[in-house]
Structure 1
Amino acid sequence: MLPSCMVPDGRLKNGARQIRVACIIGSAEVGGAEHLMLSVMRHLPADEFEWSVICPSGPLVARYAQVAARVGAVGRRSLLNPLVIMRMAVLLRRWRIEVVHTCLYDSDAGGILAGRLSGARRIISHIVGHNFYVTEERGWHRARKRLWSWLYRGVYLLADQLIAVSEAVREDLVSRSGITVSPRKVVVIRHSIAPESAVVSAGHVERVRRLCGVTDSSVVIAAVASLIPLKGHRYLIEALPAITGSIPSLRCLIVGDGPSRPAIEQQVSRLGLARHVVFTGVLDEEEKKAAIRLSRVVVLPSLSEGLPVALLEAMALGKPIVATDVGGIRELIDDQVSGVLVRPRNSDALASAIRSVASDPAWAEQLGRAGRRRFEETFSFSEMIDRLRALYLTGQSRCG
């Protein structure tokens, strides 16, 4: 049976029984979706909800255990494994889970099936991006991804409610070719970040400064994202030679890790950019925010996005953004007002935008201030929490 950290079931607080909610999430690595769910569990009223978590092994398992009554870790096996699905269903039934909340596609598919098998009364899936979005795959890989692009939403027919993190994600769910879901099943709840996420200690900034070899004369840009093809790092690296010619003190921080890292490192070497590019690997939350704080510009050259947490963090910290005009990014940024948007897969446009912002500190500061105002006015963390609470308690939430 899956290992779990257990406390007595059916815990009572203030004389009222808590609603038992299980978060089934397909990753315990450091990432935006993972920290979103951690933040939700921390901030929903503890006297109303008792949390359990089912997830793969990873560095965040201990963090999940700090906010959940129970954590069931499934090792490195996929949550789509039939044996894992059956074991998840056993845990959900044993823990008498009433609401199942899934996040990330493997856990959506496996978690929805496990929730149905367990008899949970309500199943909610949190859709944070464009699943099976065809980008740069070739041959059989492209054909297979196109097939899944048609089929993947079938599992959502078994869910009670779908949460889309942006209007772009909602539109994709209900209109992309293939199996679709009813618009009535989808509610848009734009995610946000907790107020404490906008605070960065001077000690963490100094530590990251030393780690990355940043000096007082460095002009720092940062790309905070998993190193996967969808995030478009290759286009950022292609853009750098056109920037370093006019900004020789440029330092580009590649914050994150992933399967594309060897290819990106080879590209950096091939273009002779080793002295300008720093691969930080995965940073903890405080160090990641410090890397953003150090940056003159935060860059996200993605090919597809739901509503990227890294850009919300940059906005909260008052940092200007250069990003591609895809998916939910355009719901975050007013072009030329709170950031600069460029076409995806266009290294020349990316280079021009980064160079313009990075070489003009006054404009960069103006963009950053506007971004922070937009974040504070539009992406309320308390509203996100209130609307999720309404979903758990009543199943009702207004779209918007």
Structure 2
Amino acid sequence: MLTAHCKGLPLRETIGKIDVMRLKSLRRQPYRAGFLQMGAYVLAGLWAGLRLIGRWQPDVIHVHFAVPAGALAWALSRLTRVPYVLTAHLGDVPGGVPEKTGKWFRWIFPFTRPIWRDAKRVVAVSGFTRGLALRYYGSWLRCHYRAPIEVIPNGVDLKALDPGELRANVTPRIVFAGRFMEQKNPLALVRVLSQLQDLRWQCVMLGDGPLLEETRREIAARGLADRFTLPGWVTPQEVLDWFRRSDLLFMPSLSEGLPVVGVQALAMGLAVVASRVGGFVDLVNDGENGSLHEPSDEDGMAESLRRLLSDNGSLKSGYHKRDLLRARQCSRELARKFDLTEVVRAYDELLREAAVP
């Protein structure tokens, strides 16, 4: 596995049966990479990839994200004739995260077409991502097996993430997990929860990013410092530990592919209140394990949270009178369709087909 190196991580390690090689690419932060870092990664990956392919002779290359990693896979495939499978997430597709990548795609879009055109197979992690990709690249795709773009979601190991017996906390605990950036809309979360100061709740916001300090200031300005915990960047295991102690995932994102934290939240039995964007549509059965709202509908989000959190979470009309605990149980049941076993089976079949000349 080739990936970018970040400070504090080894350049090479073996995880299970996977040999991980981290390439120096001038990247300083795990949650941010500019054009310089992306270009450095592609150049470093080209040299490392050619050596690896020459030594190991793989049957197929599997690349995540059309940009920048897709450019590396395309170049390696052209030089070695090894086919590649592309998995698109969201930010690598025009229109996926317009507030972050809109300006970039205005001038790099023509150069991304060959990446999609020459892929042996193309996968999207959600129906939303698939729709965007077809809109912008559908006429360029050559791969037409069962479908030009197949949907295989991000998966989780349900056995490893078993939360045990689900119990709602007396003081409900809300969790946010993601980069503190415009796409994740962390300031909206603070505004929404400020409408619920008459209720009992605690919120932890996991992650780091350019909006972290502004979020801290917003929390303080609204007199909510005693309600929030912001530990900063945390490890994947720490995310799961926080999920295990929480009741509800609140993500007012402006855009999403299929967020891994959302799938993990289902597996850990968390109710979900989120924006009606991207892959969240696949994670929430509205009124059963939570609710979905337009990103601009902060009042609607507040009302849904009030219904879940009031009197330890009694859900009123429109929510089938399910309480917070029942919503959590529904999430755990819904998580079954994201079981890693099925995701692995789907990729195994697809990669075997792609390896056939």
Shared fold (TM-score greater than 0.5)?
yes
RMSD, matched Cα: 3.1
* Cα separation, 1, equivalents of 2:110 and 2:185: 24
Q: TM-score by structure 2 length?
A: 0.80
* Corresponding position: 1:157 with 2:120: no
1:88 corresponds, among 33, 39, 48, to 48
Aligned partner of 1:271 in structure 2 is 222
Aligned partner of 1:321 in structure 2 is 272
Question: In the superposition, relative to structure 1, how do residues 335 and 261 fare at CA in structure 2: closer, same or farther (>3 Å)?
Answer: same
After the TM superposition, which parts of structure 1 deviate over 6 Å for at least 4 consecutive aligned residues? none
Deviations 1:66-92 (A, max 9, x none): 235543322233343363253234333
* Corresponding position: 1:226 with 2:185: no
1:338-357 residue pairs with structure 2 within 5 A?
338-357=289-308
* Corresponding position: 1:306 with 2:257: yes
Aligned partner of 1:170 in structure 2 is 130
Whether contact under 8 Å (2:64, 2:70) holds in the other structure is: no
| Number of residues of Structure 1 aligned to a counterpart in Structure 2 | 328
Amino acid paired to 1:374: L
Deviations 1:248-285 (A, max 9, x none): x4221001122221222232233232222211222223
Aligned partner of 1:333 in structure 2 is 284
Question: In the superposition, relative to structure 1, how do residues 317 and 167 fare at CA in structure 2: closer, same or farther (>3 Å)?
Answer: same
* Cα separation, 1, equivalents of 2:109 and 2:220: 35
* Cα separation, 1, equivalents of 2:143 and 2:225: 48
Question: In the superposition, relative to structure 1, how do residues 158 and 374 fare at CA in structure 2: closer, same or farther (>3 Å)?
Answer: same
**How far has the Cα of 1:242 moved from its partner?**
0.3
Question: In the superposition, relative to structure 1, how do residues 111 and 135 fare at CA in structure 2: closer, same or farther (>3 Å)?
Answer: closer
- The share of aligned pairs that are identical, in percent, is 20
SS for the counterpart of 1:288 is: helix
1:71-86 residue pairs with structure 2 within 5 A?
71-77=20-26, 78-81=37-40, 83-86=43-46
Structure 2, unaligned stretches of length 5 or more? 27-36, 315-322
Deviations 1:204-233 (A, max 9, x none): xxxxxxxxxxxx764310011122211111
Deviations 1:148-193 (A, max 9, x none): 5676454222322111111111111001489864673421112210
Aligned partner of 2:338 in structure 1 is 379
Question: In the superposition, relative to structure 1, how do residues 63 and 232 fare at CA in structure 2: closer, same or farther (>3 Å)?
Answer: farther
* Cα separation, 2, equivalents of 1:358 and 1:154: 50
* Cα separation, 2, equivalents of 1:118 and 1:68: 27
* Cα separation, 1, equivalents of 2:107 and 2:11: 37
Structure 1, unaligned stretches of length 5 or more? 1-22, 24-52, 203-215
* Cα separation, 1, equivalents of 2:267 and 2:80: 41
Question: In the superposition, relative to structure 1, how do residues 276 and 63 fare at CA in structure 2: closer, same or farther (>3 Å)?
Answer: farther
Deviations 1:309-337 (A, max 9, x none): 11211211221110111112112211102
* Cα separation, 1, equivalents of 2:293 and 2:350: 36
Aligned partner of 1:257 in structure 2 is 208
1:5-20 residue pairs with structure 2 within 5 A?
none
* Corresponding position: 1:393 with 2:349: no
* Cα separation, 1, equivalents of 2:106 and 2:78: 29
